[in-house]
């Protein structure tokens, strides 16, 4: 399943849902937190628990677009009481 995070609009104003291109490859912790509607602290906790993959560049953490997509997919596959049927 492909995420809707960072879809780039086409020149005609529509969005290409068949070839998803993230607007950025790497996000800061703050940007990832905003995209996930979480706090910065929660994102750092997910990284330390290895639930969200991150890389270190120059001493700063960056989260790949794919890591955000994988994290959201893992939440969907885990299900739970708040999960709506597809």
Domain boundary assignment for the chain: 26-76
- Taking the C-alpha atoms of residue 62 and residue 46, their distance in angstroms, rounded to an integer, is 13
Read off the pLDDT of residues 23-64 as tens digits, 9 standing for 90 and up.
Answer: 789 999 999 999 999 999 999 999 999 999 999 999 999 999
61 by Cβ neighbours in 10 Å (0-12 / 13-18 / 19+) ranks as: middle
Read off the pLDDT of residues 75-85 as tens digits, 9 standing for 90 and up.
Answer: 988 875 555 55
**5 and 22 in contact (C-beta within 8 Å)?**
yes
- For the whole model, what pTM was predicted? 0.66
Give pLDDT, residue 79: 76
Place of tokens 């940007």: 31
Cβ within 8 Å of residue 75, ≥6 positions away: none
Q: Is the pLDDT of residue 17 over 90?
A: no
Q: Is the pLDDT of residue 71 over 80?
A: yes
């Amino acid at each position: 399943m492909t995420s809707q995070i960072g879809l780039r609009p086409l020149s005609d104003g529509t969005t290409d849902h068949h070839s998803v291109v993230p607007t950025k490859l790497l996000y800061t912790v703050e940007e990832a937190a905003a995209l996930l509607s979480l706090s910065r602290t929660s994102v750092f906790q997910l990284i330390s628990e290895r639930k969200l993959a991150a890389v270190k560049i120059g001493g700063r953490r960056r989260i790949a677009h794919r890591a955000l997509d994988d994290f959201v997919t893992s939440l969907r596959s885990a299900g739970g009481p708040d999960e709506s049927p597809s």
